[in-house]
Amino acid sequence: MSGRLVEIIELDNDLKVEIWDLSRVLAGDRWLVSLEARADVPLAPEVLSSTDEKEKLLEVLRRVYGDKVSYRYKQERHFVDKREKEALFQEFLGILKRNVVPYLSHRDFARRLVASKIRELKARDPRLFF
């Protein structure tokens, strides 16, 4: 996936948010304006709630996701006039900084994201946890 790294925001909870411009020309002077924010949560014992299954959960998560669980936020609009492209991207960026960055900054974000991924895996394939 190509794109341009616009900014990296370091959060108080030790996460980093990368903001990418993935915009591209669709046809003539029409664009797909696309902003993507990426945050990776390292898989460490601290991101799991205290449970007897902690090691098993970490093992399953690492087998499925590797050493980190990724969070992605994306905003897109299709068929945007070339003259409006930059203003729309800046609007997307403002929304991200006002609404999403505070959510990602929460001290429990990493733990909640990992818990969500565990629930998704258990719903999709409960055999992973046996």
What residues of the chain score a pLDDT lower than 70? 1
CB 30 within 8 A of CB 79: yes
Determine the pLDDT at residue 72. 98
Determine the pLDDT at residue 1. 58
- Is the pTM value of this prediction over 0.75? yes
**Secondary element (H or E) of residue 81:** strand 68-81
Determine the pLDDT at residue 49. 79
Question: Cβ contacts of residue 88 below 8 Å, gap of 6+?
Answer: 33, 77, 80
Determine the pLDDT at residue 87. 98
Q: Classify residue 99 as exposed, middle or buried by CB count within 10 Å of its CB (0-12, 13-18, 19+).
A: exposed
If one counts every other C-beta atom within 10 angstroms of the C-beta of residue 101, the result is 16
CB 21 within 8 A of CB 34: yes
